[in-house]
Amino acid sequence: MIPLLEAKHISKYFGVLKALDGVSISVQENTFHGLIGPNGSGKSTLLKVIAGDHYPDEGNLTFNGNDVTNHTPELRAQNGLNLKFQITAIFPELSVYDNILLSLQSSESFWNLVLSNSRASLHDRIMDTLERFKLVDRAGSLASELSHGLQQWLEIAMAVIRKPKLLLLDEPTGGMSPEERRATGELLLPIKKDCTLIIVEHDLEWIKDICDNLTVLDQGKVLDDGTVKHIESSQKVKEVYTSRV
């Protein structure tokens, strides 16, 4: 089967620092792929390269059968590739509801936007998603008034409602309590049937429960990859994790 996303030999320099060093990763459709590794190992950089925030210095990217290495972020987003940043990037001074609407209406035509033709028809879908992410009561509040955990959920909701083919989540549970983490996992599992996911996480325990495959990065290189079982028993990974984290 052709993978949905294939990154081949990606390298990315920041000045003299080689943040990514020949990284290859391939993700099958409708699987959850975990990306782990110590601080500074290049996880966020890899996601940003995939989403188009950074362009790689070497290597190429294939998404859904097309070479997207030089595509702009807008184009990738239109084609179904979405990123949730590590630092929450919601629109703080818009209401929760409007945040979701903004995310959902991005494929509307110019006149539909000017004449506000679609906001009535999108309403039900927005309310459903708000319901699912337990944000209904807060629909009218400003996004900046939400707790940190709810802001993360809002951002995930903004991505999920677009029905992306591939969703990139950079530390979706960052700063959450264990209880919230568990709940986040439960929210994510149901989207597997129509969406592929790449998740960056520090918490190995959490990520192995929801992911099918894992890639371990260390100092910009792939240390090991494979199924969760394989990684759990990998000696190389154990060394890195026990020595540095």
Tell me how far, at minimum, the Cβ of 170 lies from ligand ATP, in Å. 7
- Write out the E strands in 96-220: 166-170, 196-200, 213-218
Q: Which is closer to ligand ATP, CB of 41 or CB of 234?
A: 41
**Contacted by 156, from other proteins, ligand ATP, Mg ion, none: CB < 5 to 8 Å by type:** none
Taking the C-alpha atoms of residue 64 and residue 62, their distance in angstroms, rounded to an integer, is: 7
Q: Which is nearer to ligand ATP, 46 or 228 (CB)?
A: 46
Query: How many residues line the site for ligand ATP (CB under 6 A)?
Result: 12
Strands (E) across the chain are located at 5-14, 17-27, 32-36, 58-63, 66-67, 81-84, 166-170, 196-200, 213-218, 221-227
102 binds other proteins (CB under 8 A): yes
Nearest to 80 by CA among 169, 197, 165, 174: 165
Q: Which of 19, 49, 126, 199 binds other proteins (CB under 8 A)?
A: 126
Query: 170 or 225: whose CB is closer to Mg ion?
Result: 170
**Residue 66 sits in the site that holds other proteins (CB under 8 A):** no
Give dist(CA 54, CA 48) in Å, integer.
Answer: 6
Q: Which residue has the tokens 């000017």?
A: 114
Q: Report the b/e string of 130-150 with b at 16+ CB within 10 A.
A: bebbebeebbeebbeebeebb
Beta carbon nearer to ligand ATP, 40 or 80: 40
Whole-number minimum distance, CB 59 to ligand ATP, in Å? 15
Q: Is 35 helix (H, G, I), strand (E, B) or coil?
A: strand
Instruction: Please report how the helices 148-160 and 178-188 are oriented relative to each other, as an axis angle in degrees rounded to 10.
Output: 10
10/210 with CB nearer ligand ATP = 10
Our finding on whether 43 is near ligand ATP (CB under 6 A) is yes
Measured from the CB atom, the residue of 141 and 241 that comes closer to Mg ion is: 241
37 binds, among ligand ATP, Mg ion, other proteins, none (CB under 5 to 8 A by kind): ligand ATP
What residues contact 144, with CB distance under 8 A and at least 6 apart? 92, 93
Q: Can you tell me whether residue 44 is helix, strand or coil?
A: helix
Task: Classify residue 166 as left (phi > 0), alpha (psi -120 to 50) or beta.
Answer: beta
**Minimum CB distance to other proteins, residue 96 (Å):** 9
Question: For Mg ion, which is the closer residue by CB, 84 or 138?
Answer: 84
Among 33, 45, 83, 234, binds ligand ATP (CB under 6 A): 45
Least Cα distance to 217 among 98, 42, 34, 24 occurs for 42
Question: Which spans of this chain sit near other proteins (rule: CB under 8 A)?
Answer: 51-53, 72-74, 77-78, 82-83, 85, 89-95, 97-98, 101-103, 105-108, 110, 112-120, 122-123, 126-127, 137-142, 158, 162
Question: Which spans of this chain sit near ligand ATP (rule: CB under 6 A)?
Answer: 14, 17, 19, 37, 39-45, 86
